[in-house]
Structure 1
């Protein structure tokens, strides 16, 4: 039996919606199996049973009741029949799975876990599960007239996507270390609904730490949220931004400044060095 996933999406209600190209009907005993990489933990849903709906070329599976932990889960179709033992096939996928508008819409809700369907490098269907907490998702970074500027989207806050203004402040913080005590520089930021823009003088950063060296972590304090939001870039499908995303450098009073990402896709400003 040949099965290919032609369209894969996790809806706003955390339902895995699949459209399939199949060469024969799904028989009784068919199950969708999700297997976690690394641990081998499995979750199975009977197609047509509770939690799932199946038709000639589509299925819908509610993910939240399955208890999927953070990680990557590979998808299989398993068929049981009276004349054969269980036959398991890893689901091939031709859907590239990238729609930034869809990912943005998903990130507007307040969540503790985020689910995403995607095609692996080898062309198979998988589901990625990550912890979700309010964050400031970066869309653009640039230097202009001696300022560090950044724009982006407030993710997983539950705020409405409207034009309502909210008081906010951008902070750049260098943690305490061999270079000296903790240092922070702040400036007012603009928040409209779930969109933000912030700018901060690089001269103020250099003046705040005369030794200049260090990694500075930006965060956004937004009225209505209990804790500052880290600035990062995790909503899109581009993993490993530390290697793949590079911004132009700047020089302020002879001190080089470079935006960069950490291994877990959080934004930093590298000053000096």
Structure 2
């Protein structure tokens, strides 16, 4: 048997709200199951408070009594994911629809990081915008690009308004490059990444325009890019002037 849900969304307080297409019988409880473990929670109307459950990391299936909950709803919205990530927390829950149609709840441990929502490659500086996810404001609100091979650093500036941040990194200091280099970003020690947009593998899907820093006989190409883990980073390459002009 199955229980049909028209929609199922998890709010920022870890309350699962289900709008039933075919409501279960009164007094029915929800059960989350994974690898032989099960946690039951009473339904309060169409709501079930999952914050009280000791859910280990992994994917849990959702059942109403002995019936699996089936839904056509994706289980989340991008606005809802952003609102959820703005709350300080060490454990993140997320609802989603499995390929079978079954309602699932994923559970994972999380740490604070800087979520990127906009990237603006300017001629003189790279500007970034985002919000602080899963934690409080870092004590050191400075953005720093660190070269992987040599640990050279290029610092930038950060302004904070609540949990929203705006950062700027100048392009000119990257003219120290002598070969191809890769620079990782940290904002006050936090990873700088885009994880809330639900687009995996951004390294092969998102490409930002390059900017060039002029030197005597060549130029350094500076380009923001996403890593394999969807962290935002900077790639630098020394190119002849003619090639830079054609890019």
* Aligned residue pair count: 233
TM-score normalised per structure 1: 0.74
- Map Cα deviations across residues 238-265 of structure 1 (whole Å, 9 max, x no partner): 3332333332233333333332222322
Deviation track 1:57-82 (CA, whole Å, cap 9, x = no partner) reads x3x33324432233333334452xxx
Change (3 A) 1:259 1:71: farther
What is the distance in 1 between the residues matched to 2:208 and 2:57? 30
Separation of aligned partners in 2, 1:43 and 1:7: 23
Q: Is the 8 A contact 1:33 1:78 kept in 2?
A: no
Structure 1 distance, partners of 2:10, 2:24, is 24
Deviation readout 1:75-103 (Å, 9 max, x if unpaired)? 34452xxxxxxxx53x3222233433322
* Aligned residue number for residue 182 of structure 2: 215
8 Å CA contact 2:194–2:230 kept in 1: the answer is yes
1:41 & 1:136 partners in 2: Cα distance? 36
Q: CA deviation at 1:28?
A: 7.2
Q: Give yes or no for contact 2:225–2:235 (8 Å, CA) kept in 1.
A: yes
- Which of 176, 184, 192 is residue 231 of structure 1 equivalent to? 192
Is 1:188 the counterpart of 2:157? The answer is yes
Deviations 1:149-199 (A, max 9, x none): 11101112246xxxxxx9731110113x3xxx2111112211111111111
* 2:203 corresponds to which of 228, 236, 242: 242
Cα distance in 1 for partners of 2:31, 2:173 equals: 56
- Report if the CA contact (8 A) 2:114-2:190 is conserved: yes
CA RMSD for the aligned pairs? Answer: 2.7
CA contact (8 A) 1:216 1:270 kept: yes
Distance 1:218 1:75 in 2: 39
Gaps of 5+ in 2: 239-247
> Which residue pairs with 1:272 in the alignment?
237
TM-score normalised to structure 2 length:
0.81
| Number of the residue aligned with 2:56 | 69
Unmatched runs of 5 consecutive residues or more in structure 1: 46-50, 80-87, 160-165, 222-227
Q: 42, 60, 71: which one pairs with 1:93?
A: 71
Partner SS, residue 272 of structure 1: strand
Conserved? CA contact 1:212–1:255, under 8 Å? no
Distance 1:127 1:2 in 2: 17
Provide the secondary structure at the position in 1 that maps to 2:142: strand
SS in 1 for 2:153: strand
- Distance in 1 separating the partners of 2:202 and 2:168: 22
CA contact (8 A) 1:167 1:191 kept: no
Note if 1:18 corresponds to 2:18. yes
Conserved? CA contact 2:9–2:76, under 8 Å: no
Alignment of 1:130-209 (within 5 A): 130-158=108-136, 168-175=141-148, 177=149, 181-207=150-176
Alignment of 1:250-269 (within 5 A): 250-253=211-214, 254-269=219-234
Contact 2:30 2:62 in 1 (8 A): no
Query: Is 1:127 matched up with 2:121?
Result: no
